[in-house]
């Protein structure tokens, strides 16, 4: 029987320098060599507040990222990554072992719904270098929790490779923006966490995203709490 054709994928992302939510599914798909067409939209702060210019035809939620699967929108980075994993089971984007998979889902969900202290005080900004900035009691607590997650996943499930669950998975795509934050704000990491951060930074897809982000020139005030005035 001929294999069913895979649906056409278009991934709509925001500014690569700033959009940590967009980075997750883009890195996942690119690293897994899942073909997609990229549409990049830019953040717009004219008129106050932050919006994504031109998003209306793509997403009912009016946020990036959004994945169009044969034209049908799937929005929110977690739903997008789940959809990519479901469409491409042979890519094994979640760990095969059920216990590891349950933890992988948990650490993704935890990252997705939490870490507001770190998000607020240490926004993703690939171009910038703000060593020591963004340390608040809440962000310190979030940083400590990230280190705990990385260390525990590596120790329990990481035997088969350099990533949280051994080989590259959705969990690594979810924590890739955090790796970049730790570099921007020069967070010192214990050896196992530092080794993991280096492995993520060296992923071809992460390098490609970060290089593109650093070449961008738009300045988004909402994401620049430490810019020199």
Q: Which is nearer to ligand GSH, 134 or 166 (CB)?
A: 134
Q: In angstroms, how far apart are the furthest CA atoms of the chain? A: 64
Closest to ligand GSH by CB, 146 vs 193, is 146
For residue 52, state whether it binds ligand GSH (rule: CB under 6 A). yes
How would you class 167 by CB atoms within 10 Å of its CB: exposed for 0-12, middle for 13-18, buried for 19 or more?
Answer: middle
The Cα-based distances of 152 to 49, 100, 104 in angstroms read 38, 12, 11
* Beta carbon nearer to ligand GSH, 67 or 200: 67
Q: How far apart are CA 41 and CA 80, in angstroms?
A: 17
Residues 1-20 that bind ligand GSH (CB under 6 A): 14, 19
CB 61, min distance to ligand GSH, A? 8
The residue from 62, 92, 135, 198 that contacts ligand GSH (CB under 6 A) is 62
59 binds ligand GSH per the rule CB under 6 A: no
Structure tokens of 80?
Answer: 């997008």
Please report how close the Cβ of residue 9 comes to ligand GSH at its closest, in angstroms. Answer: 16
Which of these segments, 46-54, 155-163, 189-197, 213-221, binds ligand GSH (CB under 6 A)?
A: 46-54
Residue 107 CA to residue 75 CA, distance in Å, equals: 20
Cα–Cα dist 150/195, whole Å: 10
Q: Which residues bind ligand GSH (CB under 6 A)?
A: 14, 19, 21-22, 50-52, 62-65, 76-78
């Amino acid at each position: 029987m001929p294999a069913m054709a895979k649906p056409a994928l278009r991934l709509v992302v925001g500014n690569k320098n700033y959009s940590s939510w967009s980075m997750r599914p883009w890195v996942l798909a690119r690293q897994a060599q899942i073909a997609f067409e990229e549409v990049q939209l830019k953040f717009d702060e004219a008129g106050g507040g932050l919006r994504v210019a031109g998003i209306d035809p793509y997403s009912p939620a009016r946020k990036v990222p959004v994945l169009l699967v044969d034209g049908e929108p799937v929005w929110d980075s977690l739903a997008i990554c789940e959809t990519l994993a479901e469409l491409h089971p042979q890519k094994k984007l979640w760990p095969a072992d059920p216990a590891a998979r349950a933890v992988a889902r948990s650490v993704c969900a935890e990252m997705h719904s939490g870490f507001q202290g770190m998000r607020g005080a240490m926004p993703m900004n690939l171009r910038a270098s703000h060593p020591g900035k963004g340390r608040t009691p809440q962000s310190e607590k979030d940083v400590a929790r990230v280190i705990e997650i990385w260390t525990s996943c590596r120790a329990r499930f990481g035997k088969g490779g350099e990533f949280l669950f051994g080989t590259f998975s959705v969990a690594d795509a979810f924590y890739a923006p955090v790796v970049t934050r730790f570099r921007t704000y020069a967070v010192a990491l214990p050896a196992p966490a530092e080794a993991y951060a280096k492995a993520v930074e060296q992923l071809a897809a992460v390098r490609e995203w970060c290089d593109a982000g650093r070449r961008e020139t738009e300045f988004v005030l909402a994401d620049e709490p430490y810019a020199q005035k």
